[in-house]
């Protein structure tokens, strides 16, 4: 009697253990799938962000080198938005691109609540981490039409100081244009390596393989 009870107990124990191991492996598998999908979204987001950034940086640098920071300022003012739209046009349909910041210059670039969440994440990590994360991801839209927001952080570099720096780095003529064009400007006073803002790339879920 006792022997039968013991054998039953061992068999039951093995079944429970077996189920627990299966559940654990399934969960691991799902986590791995999730991480792989996240990596794919990030890879695509980065690629699209760079299509836009490379174009903007190349054109801005050329104008500044050939005509100086005042012409560069006017160039950014007149063309930054058009360059964003041109990048969207060259990418698969449904992809959206925006530059935004908590301290924005152009009120048209002001952040939405979802963007504020991402911007605050980077503000915090740039202050507290030696190597801040390379991106931030969000799922938006409804379950029928999910979309992903990929955020790429932008850091202040030497060149940016002409137009986003301090009195010692912003030429007086640029300062004058700033006051004329953007009386509510929040985007000065930066130092090199400061977190400046993000490029946001929205990718419809159906574009993720
Ligand atoms: C020649 C002047 C100039 C330089 C150099 C410059 N910017 Fe700007 N920046 C502007 C102007 C003007 C705007 C507003 C134009 C717009 O997007 O409508 C702007 C807007 C931005 C925005 C969009 C959010 C906002 O504030 O409206 C970001 C982000 C930004 N700049 C980051 C940078 C970074 C990073 C660098 C250096 C790599 C840089 N800028 C260099 C003039 C400049």
Q: State if residue 102 touches ligand 1 by the CB under 6 angstroms criterion.
A: no
Q: What's residue 80's pLDDT?
A: 96
In angstroms, what is the span from residue 15 Cα to ligand 1's centroid?
A: 63
Q: What's residue 115's pLDDT?
A: 98
Find out whether 153 and 132 touch, Cβ atoms under 8 Å.
Answer: yes
Residue 197 backbone class (left: φ over 0; alpha: ψ -120 to 50; beta: rest): left
Q: State if residue 105 touches ligand 1 by the CB under 6 angstroms criterion.
A: yes
64-100 pLDDT, tens digit per residue, is: 999 999 999 999 999 999 999 999 999 999 999 999 9
- For residue 103, the ligand 1 atom closest to its alpha carbon is 26
- For residue 63, the ligand 1 atom closest to its alpha carbon is 1
91-150 pLDDT, tens digit per residue, is: 999 999 999 999 999 999 999 999 999 999 999 999 998 888 999 999 999 888 899 999
Average pLDDT over residues 196-201: 98
In angstroms, what is the span from residue 136 Cα to ligand 1's centroid?
A: 21
Mean pLDDT of the chain: 95
Distance between alpha carbon 71 and the CA centroid of its chain, in Å?
28
Q: What's residue 89's pLDDT?
A: 97
- For residue 162, the ligand 1 atom closest to its alpha carbon is 5
Q: State if residue 164 touches ligand 1 by the CB under 6 angstroms criterion.
A: yes
In angstroms, what is the span from residue 76 Cα to ligand 1's centroid?
A: 7
Q: State if residue 165 touches ligand 1 by the CB under 6 angstroms criterion.
A: no
- d(CA 55, CA 49) in angstroms, rounded, equals 10
Domain boundaries along the sequence of the chain: 43-207
Q: State if residue 161 touches ligand 1 by the CB under 6 angstroms criterion.
A: no
* 1 pLDDT tier (thresholds 50, 70, 90): confident
Q: State if residue 76 touches ligand 1 by the CB under 6 angstroms criterion.
A: yes
């Amino acid at each position: 009697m006792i022997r039968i009870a013991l054998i039953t107990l061992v068999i039951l124990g093995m079944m429970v253990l077996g189920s627990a191991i299966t559940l654990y492996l399934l969960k691991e598998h799902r986590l791995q799938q999730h991480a792989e999908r996240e990596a794919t979204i990030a890879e695509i987001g980065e690629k699209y962000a760079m299509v836009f950034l490379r174009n903007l940086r190349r054109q801005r640098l050329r104008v500044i080198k050939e005509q100086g920071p005042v012409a560069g300022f006017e160039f950014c003012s007149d063309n930054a938005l058009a360059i964003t739209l041109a990048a969207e046009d060259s990418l698969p349909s449904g992809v959206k691109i925006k530059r935004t910041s908590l301290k924005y210059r152009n009120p048209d670039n002001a952040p939405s609540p979802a963007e504020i969440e991402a911007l605050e994440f980077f503000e915090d990590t740039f202050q507290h981490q030696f190597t801040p994360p390379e991106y931030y991801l969000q799922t938006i839209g409804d379950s029928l039409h999910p979309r992903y927001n990929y955020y790429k952080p932008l850091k202040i570099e030497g060149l940016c100081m002409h137009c986003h720096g301090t009195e010692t780095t912003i030429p007086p003529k640029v300062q004058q244009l700033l006051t004329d064009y953007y009386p509510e400007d929040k985007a000065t006073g930066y130092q090199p390596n400061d977190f400046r803002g993000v490029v946001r790339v929205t990718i419809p879920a159906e574009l993720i393989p």
